[in-house]
Structure formats: structure tokens, C-alpha cells
Chains A and B, each alone.
Chain A
Amino acid sequence: GAGVSQSPSNKVTEKGKDVELRCDPISGHTALYWYRQSLGQGLEFLIYFQGNSAPDKSGLPSDRFSAERTGGSVSTLTIQRTQQEDSAVYLCASSSPGTANYGYTFGSGTRLTVV
């Protein structure tokens, strides 16, 4: 697609429920990243995919968080047994290593609210 697409744009869930966040990167972008941003804060790294593999998952806060990427394209971030501290905007970005412009293209994010 023309840009990075994330869904849903907003998600309100009850504490203890599981949620799935989806990211559809720019076609052909091999690298995909998940970050989260709490209100007024910086971007906290969660996980990085190169193709379907995740060489760096050091930012996942706990074993309640997992992510996968299939077909070198769509990625899903799953949060199990959500807690209130999980409330944040979850941002996905993709990039194409090896090109001169190696910046991230971010999606519009999923705003997760755990009540």
C-alpha cells in the first residue's frame, strides 16, 4: 500500500482481556518495527522484524506481549491479559534497508485504552 496501515485505530478493552493489533507495512519494506508511546512521552521500542524473523525483541515488556509477522508483510502484536499500564498508542513502522532514504514510515497508530 501507499502507507503503513494499522488497525484498529482505537481499542478500548477491559483489564484481563487479550487484544490483537495489526500492522500492514508498505509493500516491499522488509523491516518492520513496533513502538509504543505513552501520553506525552517518547517512543519505546518493542520489537523489530527483518522479513519474518525477529532479531531483536528486547523491548517486549513481559511475556504477555508477543508479535509475529507472516509472509514478510502483515504483523500482529498480541497483548494477553491486558493491564492498565498497557494503555498507550502502539505505533508500527516499516523501512527498506539498503535504500538511501532509510527512515521509518510510521502508521497512524492504535490507541489502546485498558479500563
Chain B
Amino acid sequence: GQQVMQIPQYQHVQEGEDFTTYCNSSTTLSNIQWYKQRPGGHPVFLIQLVKSGEVKKQKRLTFQFGEAKKNSSLHITATQTTDVGTYFCAGRGTSYGKLTFGQGTILTVHP
């Protein structure tokens, strides 16, 4: 079945440093989504990428979808303490149906 791998598992940064998490799928994806889960909370939808090579920005967050639609990345510029949490990528093999989640990257930001 479809597998989505995410690295790194953990990332500790100093406030102001950049952060990147990477996501790779074993199969070509129809689309990929990113979620953020704060400690003690539930995942919250951030964004969806659909097109090959797509790049989207949300303030300090930049999301990319690979040309082959099998990998994706999330980059945060100048991290803040409010960025702490676990970031999940989630891929969908067909236009509809379930998302397969990566294991997540736990981000810690030291002030």
C-alpha cells in the first residue's frame, strides 16, 4: 500500500533559525496536504498542493510539491516559539478518498 515517509522525526532550533521537513511517497500522489498539531491538540489543516512543481507561501511558511508529485517539503523561515508542534504531511493517491499521513516532524523552538 501507499507509504508516506517524513524526515526528520525531531528538529530542535533556536528562535530565528530556519526549519525544513521533507516528505516522500512510495507512489505518485494526486495531492498532498500539510497539517500542524500543537502539543495536546489535534491536527489543523494548513494547505493543499495539487500541481506538479507547485509552490505556495503562507507568511513565513513555504510549501513545495515535487515535479514527480512524490515528494514535498515545508520550510519555515525565522522560526518563532509559536511554531512549536508536530508538522504532518498527508498524501492522497486519488482525487478523493483517504489521506495517508507521514509520521510527522516534531519541532521544538528554543527562545
Contact = CB atoms under 8 A, between A and B. Distances in A.
Interface of A: 31, 33, 35, 40-43, 45, 48, 50, 55-56, 58-59, 91, 97, 101-109
Contacts of B41: 108
A107 B42 contact: yes
A39 B21 CA distance: 21
A97 B48 CA distance: 13
A101 B48 contact: yes
Nearest to B46: A103
B42 A45 contact: no
A33 B101 contact: no
Task: Report the contact-size class of chain B (Cβ under 8 Å from the partner).
Answer: 20 to 34
A81 B43 CA distance: 29
B100 to A, nearest CB: 7
A42 B98 contact: no
B96 A106 contact: no
Nearest to A50: B96
A48 B97 contact: yes
B102 A104 contact: no
A108 B44 CA distance: 10
Given A45-B98, A102-B48, 14 more contacts: A33-B99, A35-B101, A42-B104, A43-B43, A56-B98, A59-B98, A103-B33, A103-B48, A104-B35, A104-B45, A106-B42, A107-B42, A108-B42, A109-B42
B14 to A, nearest CB: 23
A55 B43 CA distance: 24
Contact of A106 (B44, B98, B106): B44
5 contacts: A45-B100, A91-B42, A97-B96, A103-B47, A104-B43
B88 interface: yes
Contacts of A40: 106
A75 B84 CA distance: 32
Contacts of B98: 33, 45, 48, 56, 59
A35 B104 CA distance: 15
A56 B96 CA distance: 11
